[in-house]
Chain A
Amino acid sequence: MNYSFEWDVFLRSIGGNETYLSWLMTAWRWTLLVSVLSFVLAFFAGFLFGVFRTTNNKNLERIGNAWTELFRNIPLLVQLFLWYHVIPSIFPVMNKIPSFLLVVIALGLFTSARISDQVKAGILTLSTGQRYAALALGLTITQSYRYVLVPQALRIIIPPLTSEAMSIIKNSSVAFAIGIAELTMFAMQAQEETSRGIEIYLVVTGLYFASAFIVNLVAQFIEHKISIPSSAGARK
């Protein structure tokens, strides 16, 4: 294959003072913004419904299970189309929401199903003695979750949460389908305009790598900060 690289494609102007490079950087910021907001939503919703599934209350368990099954068994792209095409025409209030927030909702709730699984597993690995001891000390159910179970489960599930955070960055690429100007959308459009697909795809792929790497660093830092000194995995 004879392909001559033309890296200066990134310096070409797209009008005004903007170049493909500055467009690329804006696109990267969109990817990161959508990912971070989605993760925050996924984290809180995942925790809430994951905790529901470990309570002894049958109704809460059912709600938690239904939530998880609903958001796990529909492809992310289809969920995104539901939020974009279907929900706003049934609830006109949703028309006012900017489309990047619809991506955040879709991606956040999709991921919350997976996080709720991890939260449930994390809480169930704790010995039942922890739950009973908390209740014996006179804590209410809510307090025992707040002060005893959740803080420990959170530390246990940091490694799977980290890979979820990395998946969110990868999954944010579906946002191209509703026209959010993130990295994948940039790659598709810039390739069409310049026909320098290889250079553009290489750089965009590199930025996805870099984003995953940053997430990994942040996660390691957090894990180190909040580890319990006496636990098996803790660094001395």
Chain B
Amino acid sequence: MNLMALDFSFFTWHVISTFIIKGLLFSLHLTLVAMAGGIILGTLLAMMRLSSFKWLSVPALVYVTTLRAIPLVMVILWFFLLIPLLTGKTMGAEYSALITFTVFEAAYYSEIMRAGIQSVKKDQVNAGYALGLTYFQNMRYIVLPQAFRNMLPVLLTQTIILFQDTSLVYAIGAYDLLKGFEILSKNYNRPVEAYLVAAVLYFIICFSLSYLVRQIQKKIQIIR
């Protein structure tokens, strides 16, 4: 087979809307849920890790180092196997993926937020306390807003990686963007064209997002 034999004619609007859009929507859904949940959980974990209480910092440290040492595919399989055992109910691959990705990404977001919190000068924190703010008020009004802004490009870059990683739900058969192309390749027996288009589509999405992140980075640098 040579390049001339490629035939993309089966990519009709019907095919795209049946197979691709459904998968793309789930991939985006998964990315957004895991990003929001992961950043919230990750911020809490980062605050725990920076706490002077051992009973807060040690569990957070164990959580983060453990999840960062295990391949994501294994974590996906673990949750898919364990959640039904713990709850006694079977859970669809899609729901299982939503929980897994939130829990898993929290470990990575927490390391970013930890760096972000530490990037805020100690004077700011002390000034907050001198004004009579409590720990949580200090975090809410002084530290976290600055930490978020400083770390925004890194948080977004992690989110692009997260979007790429959603393709790994292949392991439990959830219907994501890649799965859409896989089904398509089997139905029309055109794996070459299907996976080529998949790669191009992923590339366009990720490349434009990382271009956007670079623009944001430049903007933030000027403000500072």
B223 is an interface residue with CB less than 8 A from chain A: no
A205 is an interface residue with CB less than 8 A from chain B: yes
Contacting residues, chain B, for A173 (C-beta < 8 A): 71-74
Given contacts A74-B203, A173-B74, contact A86 B196 (CB under 8 A): yes
Contacting residues, chain A, for B185 (C-beta < 8 A): 85
Main secondary structure on A side of the interface with B: helix
* In the bound complex, CA of A173 to CA of B1 (Å): 30
A191 is an interface residue with CB less than 8 A from chain B: yes
Contacting residues, chain B, for A187 (C-beta < 8 A): 74, 77
Contacting residues, chain B, for A219 (C-beta < 8 A): none
The smallest C-beta distance from B96 to any residue of chain A, in angstroms, reads 14
* A: contact size bracket: 35 or more
Contacting residues, chain B, for A184 (C-beta < 8 A): 71, 73-74, 77, 171
| Most interface-central of A169, A170, A191 (chain B CB within 10 A) | A170
Is the Cβ of B81 less than 8 Å from the Cβ of A75?
Answer: no
Is the Cβ of A170 less than 8 Å from the Cβ of B71?
Answer: yes
Is the Cβ of A85 less than 8 Å from the Cβ of B85?
Answer: no
Is the Cβ of B167 less than 8 Å from the Cβ of A188?
Answer: no
A179 is an interface residue with CB less than 8 A from chain B: no
* In the bound complex, CA of A74 to CA of B2 (Å): 23
Residue in A166, A170, A198 whose beta carbon sits within 8 Å of that of B81 in the complex: A198
Contacting residues, chain B, for A79 (C-beta < 8 A): 199
- Residue-wise, chain B 67-100 has the 8 Å CB interface mask toward A (1 for contact) of 0011111100110011001100000000000000
Is the Cβ of B203 less than 8 Å from the Cβ of A73?
Answer: yes
* In the bound complex, CA of A178 to CA of B191 (Å): 14
Closest partner residue, chain B, to A201 (CB atom): B78
- Residue-wise, chain B 197-213 has the 8 Å CB interface mask toward A (1 for contact) of 01100110011001000
* In the bound complex, CA of A130 to CA of B49 (Å): 40
Main secondary structure on B side of the interface with A: helix
Contacting residues, chain A, for B207 (C-beta < 8 A): 69, 73
Closest partner residue, chain B, to A79 (CB atom): B199
Contacting residues, chain A, for B183 (C-beta < 8 A): none
* In the bound complex, CA of A92 to CA of B202 (Å): 26
Is the Cβ of B202 less than 8 Å from the Cβ of A73?
Answer: yes
The smallest C-beta distance from B41 to any residue of chain A, in angstroms, reads 21
A81 is an interface residue with CB less than 8 A from chain B: yes
* In the bound complex, CA of A82 to CA of B3 (Å): 14
Is the Cβ of A201 less than 8 Å from the Cβ of B81?
Answer: yes
Closest partner residue, chain A, to B80 (CB atom): A197
A89 is an interface residue with CB less than 8 A from chain B: yes
Give A residues with C-beta under 8 Å from B. Answer: 1, 3, 69-70, 72-79, 81-82, 85-86, 89-90, 92, 166, 169-174, 176-177, 184, 187-188, 191, 197-198, 201, 204-205, 208-209, 212
15 extra interchain contacts, Cβ-Cβ under 8 A, other than A70-B203, A184-B171?
A: A73-B206, A73-B210, A74-B199, A78-B195, A78-B199, A82-B195, A85-B191, A85-B195, A89-B192, A90-B2, A170-B71, A172-B71, A184-B71, A184-B73, A208-B70
